[in-house]
Amino acid sequence: MNPASIHELKDKFGRIHNYLRISLIEKCNLRCKYCMPADGIPLSPKASLMSAEEVLEFARIFVGLGVNKIRLTGGEPLLRKDIYEILEGLSKLPVDLSLTTNGLLIDRHVDNFRKLGVKNINFSLDTLREERFFEITRRTGFQKTLDNFRILHDQGFNLKINVVLVKGMNEDELVDLVNLTRDFDVSVRFIEFMPFDGNSWDCSKMVSEAEVLEKLGAHFGTERITPLPNEENFTARKFKITDYRGDFGIISSVTNPFCGTCNRIRLTANGRIKNCLFSNQETDLLAAMRAGENVETLILESILKKKAVRAGMDNMEKLSDPVLHSDNRSMIAIGG
């Protein structure tokens, strides 16, 4: 394959991959129950993690292959000491740049976000109750998180609030969380609990899209819940409560996946490409780049191996099979 001839990352099903999610770090300052085991995960040796220069080199390669949207994630991306250098380098590329964060360190970085034009922030917040925040994240920091949410909101950032809904954890806060969209111009997105290594997933803990809509309909009245048009390559079906400022969405990767329009590829903090969130197949691009090999060809090969639906787990039976999903890394080591 001649790399000069690769202009876009099209898979066997005609899906063009123009959206790269880069995980910058495997560490986190929280320990969310649904994301990682209580005793943490084995971390990659420092030398096998991407340096800032390597992150930027990969970004340039992917942009050359048609990527025009990059999201930084982790672990907690704002824990990277060289986050400014990375953001500054990426801000010079022709990409829509965004970040997913738990929000705890926002106040230290917000001026740099404004300076570098980083406007789109996905902010994870699963509860509006302090005690519950501690139960879910196994750490303190609730008030700081809320204060940082206000800072971003008041400074006019495009804010999406990510809520992982888990039965017995926070599904009783559905209405309160939707009411955030009455008071703030934000998009609240409810994410179905997904299975990963060590997160004690079982399908009875999931709150499906149908249940969310039923509960909200019972509270607000179905006539006040208006579906919004789907965005291109959408992952969330969006709705709005009449007269509320913001909107809410449901990301149902498990019960009703969006694979047909998927345009995403992932690069882990140790430089491996994952062609699907659910896939345990990875290609070590970092080792290849350090060895001076042709990375473009490896990227395209990975895209061509992408399965039509959830890495081949095309039904609930396969998805519920612990052998299949526990081979996959924890979310913290993938970068959601």
Interface contacts to ligand SAM, rule CB under 6 A? 28, 34-35, 73-74, 76, 100-102, 124, 162, 164, 191, 193-194, 196, 199, 331-332, 335-336
Nearer to ligand SAM, 283 or 330 (CB): 330
Nearer to ligand SAM, 18 or 199 (CB): 199
| Cβ at position 137, least distance to ligand SAM in Å | 9
Query: CA quadruple 99, 234, 312, 17: dihedral positive or negative?
Result: negative
Nearer to ligand SAM, 137 or 263 (CB): 137
Rounded CA separation 92/116 (Å): 9
- With CB under 5 to 8 Å by kind, the binding choice for 193 among ligand SF4, ligand SAM, none is ligand SAM
Nearer to ligand SAM, 65 or 334 (CB): 334
Residue 31 interacts with ligand SF4 (CB under 6 A): yes or no: yes
Query: CA quadruple 34, 162, 42, 320: dihedral positive or negative?
Result: positive
- CB contact at 8 A, 20 and 75: no
Q: Tokens 């005793």 belong to which residue?
A: 39
Rounded CA separation 72/76 (Å): 9
Residue 30 interacts with ligand SF4 (CB under 6 A): yes or no: yes
- With CB under 5 to 8 Å by kind, the binding choice for 31 among ligand SF4, ligand SAM, none is ligand SF4
Give the HSE-up count for residue 85: Cα atoms under 13 Å, Cβ half-sphere: 12
| Cβ at position 76, least distance to ligand SF4 in Å | 5
SS3 assignment, position 288: helix
| Cβ at position 105, least distance to ligand SF4 in Å | 11
Among 18, 23, 98, 102, binds ligand SF4 (CB under 6 A): 102
Residue 279 interacts with ligand SF4 (CB under 6 A): yes or no: no
- CB contact at 8 A, 71 and 100: yes
Task: For residue 286, give the amino acid letter.
Answer: L
Looking only at residues 110 through 129 of this chain, which bind ligand SF4 when binding is defined by CB under 6 A? 124
- CB contact at 8 A, 9 and 305: no
- CB contact at 8 A, 328 and 279: yes
Q: Which residues pair with 189 in a beta bridge?
A: 162, 249
- How are beta strands 96-101 and 120-124 bridged, if at all? parallel
Nearer to ligand SAM, 171 or 296 (CB): 171
- With CB under 5 to 8 Å by kind, the binding choice for 235 among ligand SF4, ligand SAM, none is none
Nearer to ligand SAM, 33 or 306 (CB): 33
Among 36, 95, 269, 277, binds ligand SF4 (CB under 6 A): 36
| Cβ at position 235, least distance to ligand SF4 in Å | 17
Rounded CA separation 225/174 (Å): 14
For 299, phi and psi rounded to 5 degrees?
Answer: -65, -50
- With CB under 5 to 8 Å by kind, the binding choice for 191 among ligand SAM, ligand SF4, none is ligand SAM
Residue 26 interacts with ligand SF4 (CB under 6 A): yes or no: no
Structure tokens at 167: 């039965």
Nearer to ligand SAM, 12 or 108 (CB): 108
Nearer to ligand SAM, 148 or 289 (CB): 148
Residue 170 interacts with ligand SF4 (CB under 6 A): yes or no: no
Q: How far is CA 268 from CA 9, 236, 315, in A?
A: 18, 23, 26
- # residues contacting ligand SF4 (CB under 6 A): 13
Residue 76 interacts with ligand SF4 (CB under 6 A): yes or no: yes
Task: For residue 235, give the amino acid letter.
Answer: T
Q: What is the CA radius of gyration of the chain?
A: 19
- CB contact at 8 A, 247 and 228: yes
Residues that bind ligand SF4 (CB under 6 A): 28, 30-32, 35-36, 74-76, 102, 124, 331-332
